[in-house]
Copies of this chain bind each other. A is one copy, B any other.
Amino acid sequence: MEDVAKRAGVALGTVSNVINQPQKVSRATIDKVQRAIAELGFVPNRAARALAAGTSNTIGVVIADLSNSFFVDMARGAESIAAESSINVVLANADMRRSKQAANLDLFRQERMAGILLAPLPGADGSLLTGRNRTPLVFLNDAAIEGACTVSVDNEYGGYLAASHLLAIGRRRLLFAGDPAQAVPIADRLRGVERAVRETAGASLELSPTPEVQADDGRTLGFAIAHRPESERPDGIVAAADLLALGLVQILGADASIRIPEDIAITGYDNNRAAWESLIPITTIAQPGEQIGAVAMALLLEEIRDPEGHEHTHSVLEPTLVVRASTQRT
């Protein structure tokens, strides 16, 4: 930078101003300096900048699991908002391990990031907000944390949406596939389903817990349902996840005595790739991943810009219903 200053015939501070506050510098000087920068191929040193300024203009995103596209969507949404303020975003993957999550958080704090977005592993709590070195931090996809902003999705409403859709197309014998004891979001979804059923006269709900929510679990349940006498089969199934729904559709759809959606309509949850690549595309509840990221980034930027006046917000977004062939013939 000293070389640039010399070459442009100005002071060190002026070069800095050209880079950071061009409005304080005259047109002519800006040109001179920028020419010198170009000629010398000057690349500013962000480490020095972060040190001198006390903070960088980069935001770190710590993600529980990179292989989950839901989290990746969040990251993308966050990036799009950050880009508007020309703020950089870097990611770190916790790979489902608590130790890596903590290490990545540490790293970003040590780098004096402007702020951190955290899509945590299940069971996150306020302890992640270590007392010292309070880098602004917003939680993604987690609502139960005090002392920081959170952005999450209303799973209860998602379940309600799915069940309401089935009820609206005339189904009355509903089945919920998935184990509410396995994960809090699944329990929330079930609550929403129960509410919808309660609100509809003549509707019944059967709970069918599965060990997990993989395609295989869906297939196992599918066989079980296919073997029932026709009168005891449900006419609508809310699966707790898309893969589960996929397994169900694969088995029930292959059974000659069952038509999807006429005899059994099926909904999934998450709007995974699996849902629309199925031979019979699956109706699902889409989580607004990008929107979560975008809202969270907006909240974070607000906190960064006004740390004092900032009040923590708990934002809850609504999922949306995506209707496909597994519930409605087109």
Point out residues on A near B: beta carbons under 8 Å.
Answer: 41, 43-48, 50-51, 56, 58, 60, 66-67, 69, 72, 75-76, 79, 88-93, 95, 103-104, 106-107, 109-112, 131-133, 215, 243, 246, 250-251, 254, 273-274, 277, 279
Given A50-B47, A56-B47, A132-B41, A79:B93 Cβ within 8 A: yes
Given A44-B110, A45-B51, A107-B88, A72:B76 Cβ within 8 A: no
| CB-defined A-B contacts under 8 Å, sample of 7 | A45-B51, A46-B107, A46-B111, A67-B69, A89-B92, A273-B274, A274-B274
5 nearest interchain CB pairs? A47-B50, A91-B91, A250-B279, A46-B110, A47-B51
Q: How far does the alpha carbon of A223 sit from the alpha carbon of B58 in the complex, in Å? A: 51
B76 A112 Cβ-Cβ under 8 A: no
Whole-angstrom distance between the Cβ of A290 and the nearest chain B Cβ = 12
Q: How far does the alpha carbon of A130 sit from the alpha carbon of B274 in the complex, in Å? A: 41
Q: Which of A50, A131, A133, A243 has the most chain B CB atoms inside 10 A of its CB?
A: A50
B67 A79 Cβ-Cβ under 8 A: no
Task: Report chain B residues within 8 Å CB of A274.
Answer: 273-274, 277
Q: How far does the alpha carbon of A90 sit from the alpha carbon of B63 in the complex, in Å? A: 11
Q: How far does the alpha carbon of A75 sit from the alpha carbon of B306 in the complex, in Å? A: 35
A90 B88 Cβ-Cβ under 8 A: no
Task: Report chain B residues within 8 Å CB of A103.
Answer: 88
A280 nearest CB neighbor, chain B only:
B250
Contacts A47-B48, A66-B76 known; 8 new A-B pairs at CB < 8 A: A45-B110, A46-B110, A47-B111, A58-B107, A66-B66, A79-B93, A79-B95, A90-B90
Q: Which of A41, A60, A131 has the most chain B CB atoms inside 10 A of its CB?
A: A41
A43 B110 Cβ-Cβ under 8 A: yes
Q: How far does the alpha carbon of A124 sit from the alpha carbon of B92 in the complex, in Å? A: 24
Whole-angstrom distance between the Cβ of A98 and the nearest chain B Cβ = 15
